[in-house]
Structure 1
Amino acid sequence: MPQFKQLRSVEELEQFLQEPGKRLLFKHSTTCPISANAYGEFQAFLEGQQLPAAVIHVIEDRPVSNEVADRFAIKHESPQIFLLEEGGVKWHTSHWKITKQAIEEAVQA
């Protein structure tokens, strides 16, 4: 099973954002079937990967989700994925565009 952190506080988000190198951040709605599909794609990508990754449950941890939108000035969507590097967003997408292949292409770019 892929390894990733669940970020439940703004402090945990801050710590995750300060780590060096590329990392993935996935915003997940536990009540949305589209998000469930995208979450499966996210997990499929992480199989066998060493890339640090984290998930935010947007309903349960709304302040953390809102902080991501505010910090990067990117409209909140769910599901939504971000490739982060050097403290900024290198790539992001949402909904049905979240696929294992799309994530692979973004990470390799």
Structure 2
Amino acid sequence: MNWNQLTDLSQLEVIKEESKQQPILILKHSTTCSISSTALNRLERNWKQESVGELKPYYLDLLKYRPISSAIASTFGVEHQSPQVLIIQNGECIYDASHFEISFAELAETVG
């Protein structure tokens, strides 16, 4: 799995534009949380690009970049959670899940 690092607020506008061409996955990850580590591990272990097509994954270390996490919540109209995944398509969040509800199968179904 090839994560794109989300490290700058300006990337949110890039993501919105990219999402008009392909769906975007954002993972908000806390590096000190065991639930977050489990969710990341499950995603990486189950990731099959052929199941998600052109879904482009972004990784946010929300402890280092907390303002970006807050901006994601307000930009895409979702309540902040950690860990949390969002799928962005056509500039809008079409799916979000958090904690143990994060499922590769659901992600694949959403974009499939």
- Is 2:22 aligned against 1:21? yes
Distance in 1, Cα, partners of 2:8 & 2:110 = 27
Alpha-carbon contact 2:55-2:111 (below 8 Å) kept: no
Q: For residues 1-109 of structure 1, what are the structure 2 equivalents within 5 Å? A: 2-19=1-18, 20-49=21-50, 50-108=54-112
**What percent of counterpart residues are identical?**
29
Instruction: Report the number of matched residues.
Output: 107
Amino acid at match of 2:86: F
Q: Where do 5+ consecutive residues of structure 2 fail to align?
A: none
Deviation, structure 1 residue 45: 4.1
Alpha-carbon contact 2:25-2:57 (below 8 Å) kept: yes
- The runs of at least 4 consecutive aligned structure 1 residues that moved more than 6 Å come to none
Amino acid at match of 2:31: T
Question: RMSD value over aligned CA atoms?
Answer: 1.5
Distance in 1, Cα, partners of 2:88 & 2:46 = 16
SS of the residue aligned with 1:43? helix
TM-score, structure 2 length as denominator?
A: 0.86
TM-score, structure 1 length as denominator?
A: 0.88
